[in-house]
Amino acid sequence: MTPLEPDKIDTLFINCHLATMTGNAFSIIEKAALAVTGKTISWIGKEKDLSDHLKTKCQKVIDCKNGWILPGFVDCHTHLVWGGSRSNEFEMRLAGASYEEISKKGGGIFSTVQATRKASKDELFILASKRVAALLSQGITTLEIKSGYGLNLETELKLLEVIRQLDKDFPVHIEATFLGAHALPREFANDPDGYIDLVTDTMLPKIKNQGIATAVDVFCEHIAFNLSQTKKVFQTAKDLGLNIKLHAEQLSDSNGAALAAQFSALSCDHLEYLSLDSAKKMADNHVTAVLLPGAFYFLKETQKPPVDILRKLKIPMAVSTDLNPGSSPVHSMTLVLNMACVLFGLTCEEALLGATIHGAKALSLEKSKGSIEKGKDADLVVWDIDTAADLCYLAGLTPIKMVIIEGRILHDNFKNE
Ligand code: NIG
Ligand code: FE
């Protein structure tokens, strides 16, 4: 290994343990040190391999006080730009109404669409900023945000512009996904194919032109769009060179995952009703499974995603908040980690891989994000925990000491000690 030169290091972290996630596996280095140069990780290893000279000569040395450093969390599935509130629907569901019943009566996604269409770009930005800030304070350093509460060209573009502004104004890295095919807007109630034509012929080319989204998602479900409509959106996305994702088999088995696999989608998300055959197609086409225990919990679902099959087929499992107003108003990754273990039966190691390197893979960012490796972006969180499993175990606690994004120190709670 090349010797470390103090003048080439901007920040040296010592007295820490690392959970690196290197090689898509849960790997740890105890009694470690980590060096950051510019935006990237320049060295990791055992602290005993560093000379005392180096520690005294480095510009900035941070004593992590025996804390753990993990890659910043990658939250690869959110819908966090929305207007209005659905707390009334929460109360309706507590009184016995189902998510589908509320949706069929014109509530659900439609009520958020109405409120989002009415809201100005500035209003949506202010609302969404609070949510991004909350996620950042939970150790999330990379984030995906979907549009999908506009369902017309003007409002879908407004949402994607808000997402672009959030990416500019916050240190968090944000990927934008176009989810125009999220629900059928009222204006097209009797003409679903007509709406899909609008998505493929007008919205998608505009979005591609403006370079305002990197991926395209569809809600393939009996309360949303069928297989052939989904296929049409995928074909257009593919022709335009956009990545593909799918809300698949959340409430029933629509064979969406198999279709998405045919299109080499980056990910299929939810997957409670995934069949063995579709899972095999996902494995063959290297599609990541995104598990969303927040929505499962919040909708009081009983059908769990087939984790044993995913494991057996070695399909990477990401976990994410699915932050949205209707099915997962969950603003905490540590809570989601806990749910992934308790509700879906993931091990703590699987859940942590899911919130880091596998989340990055679901966004095609695994070369730069999601693990602690030399040359990767220095997106790191220093945690005040005894073992990495504490992040899954201590439900809802977020004992963050420091957040670093691309080498920049953001939160520094060591200062307050
Ligand atoms: O991921 N499944 C579809 N979309 C969201 C729910 C959106 C909503 O209810 O507003 C989800 O669960
Ligand atoms: Fe979703």
Of 239, 253, 152, 162, nearest to 203 (Cα)? Answer: 152
Are the CB atoms for 293 and 319 separated by under 8 Å?
A: yes
Q: How far is the CA of 326 from the centre of ligand 1 (A)?
A: 6
Probe target for ligand 1 pocket from 301, 324, 328, with the most ligand atoms within 8 Å of CB: 324
Average pLDDT for 218-244: 97
Q: Are 204 and 132 spatial neighbours (Cβ–Cβ below 8 Å)?
A: no
Distance (Å, whole) CA 281 – CA 272: 16
The neighbour count for residue 55, using CB atoms within 10 Å, is: 15
| Tokens standing for residue 282 | 């996902």
Question: What residue's CA is closest to ligand 1, atom 5?
Answer: 327
Indicate which residue's Cα is closest to atom 12 of ligand 1: 327
- Report the atom number in ligand 1 closest to the C-alpha of 99: 9
Rounded (5°) CA angle 74-15-346: 35
Q: From the CA of 245, which ligand is nearest?
A: 2
Average pLDDT, rounded, for the chain? 96
Residue 237, H or E segment: helix 227-239
pLDDT surpasses 60 at 1? no
Instruction: Report residue 385 as tokens.
Output: 């925990």
What pLDDT does residue 217 have?
Answer: 98
Pocket test for ligand 1, best of 75, 77, 79, 230 (most atoms within 8 A of CB): 79
Whether 191 has a pLDDT exceeding 60, the answer reads yes
Exposure class string for 322-340: b at 16+ Cβ within 10 A, else e: bbbbbbbbbbbbbbbbbbb
Smallest CA separation from ligand 1 atom 1, residue: 322
Q: What is the mean pLDDT of residues 156-178?
A: 98
The number of the ligand nearest the C-alpha atom of 294 reads 1
| Residue 380 to residue 374: CA distance in whole angstroms | 13
pLDDT for 415 = 81
Residue 136's contacts (CB-CB under 8 Å, 6 or more residues apart) are 170, 171, 172, 403, 410
Neighbours of 180 (CB within 10 A): 31
pLDDT at 148: 98
* Residue list, CB under 5 A from ion ligand 2: 322
Nearest to 36 by CA among 14, 56, 13: 13
Which domains does the chain show, CATH number per domain?
A: 6-72+372-416 (2.30.40.10), 74-361 (3.20.20.140)
Contact 289, 314 (CB under 8 A): no
User: What tens digit of pLDDT does each residue of 54-68 get?
Assistant: 888 888 999 999 999
25 Cα: distance to centroid of ligand 2 (angstroms): 26
Task: State pLDDT tens for residues 238-249.
Answer: 999 999 999 999
With bands split at pLDDT 50, 70 and 90, how would you rate the model's confidence at 125?
very high
User: What's the mean pLDDT in 383-397?
Assistant: 96
In angstroms, the CA 86 to CA 113 distance is: 11
Closest of 327, 294, 360, 404 to residue 102, by C-alpha: 327
Atom of ligand 1 nearest to the CA of 325: 10
Average pLDDT over residues 97-111: 88
pLDDT digits (tens, 9 = 90+) for 268-318: 999 999 999 999 999 999 999 999 999 999 999 999 999 999 999 999 999
Long-range contacts of 102-106 (CB under 8 A, 24+ apart): 103/183, 103/223, 104/223, 106/186
Q: Is 342 exposed, middle or buried (0-12, 13-18, 19+ CB in 10 A)?
A: middle
Q: How far is CA 21 from the centre of its chain?
A: 17
Which ligand lies nearest the alpha carbon of 324? 1
The pLDDT value given to residue 150:
98
Of the candidates 415, 341, 398, the one whose C-alpha atom is nearest the C-alpha of residue 73 is 398
Give yes or no for residue 326 having a pLDDT over 90.
Answer: yes
CA neighbor of 341 nearest in space, from 258, 349, 369: 349
CA distance 336 to 297: 10
Q: Which atom of ligand 1 is nearest to the CA of 328?
A: 12
215-219/173-181 β-pairing? parallel
Residues contacting residue 367 through CB under 8 Å, at least 6 positions apart: 376
- Name the residue with the closest Cα to ligand 1, atom 8: 326
- For 108-122, how does the pLDDT look when each residue is reduced to its tens digit (9 = 90+)? 999 999 999 999 999
Rounded to whole angstroms, the Cα distance separating 391 from 70 reads 10
pTM above 0.95, yes or no: yes
- Give the model's pLDDT for residue 3: 62
Count other C-beta atoms under 10 Å from residue 226's C-beta: 15
| 68-95 confidence digits (pLDDT tens) | 999 999 999 999 999 999 999 999 999 9
Cα gap 16→31, rounded to integer Å: 6
Please list every protein residue whose CB sits less than 6 Å from any atom of ligand 1. 79, 108-109, 112, 219, 247, 250, 295, 322, 324-328
Pairing of β 140-146 and β 73-75: parallel
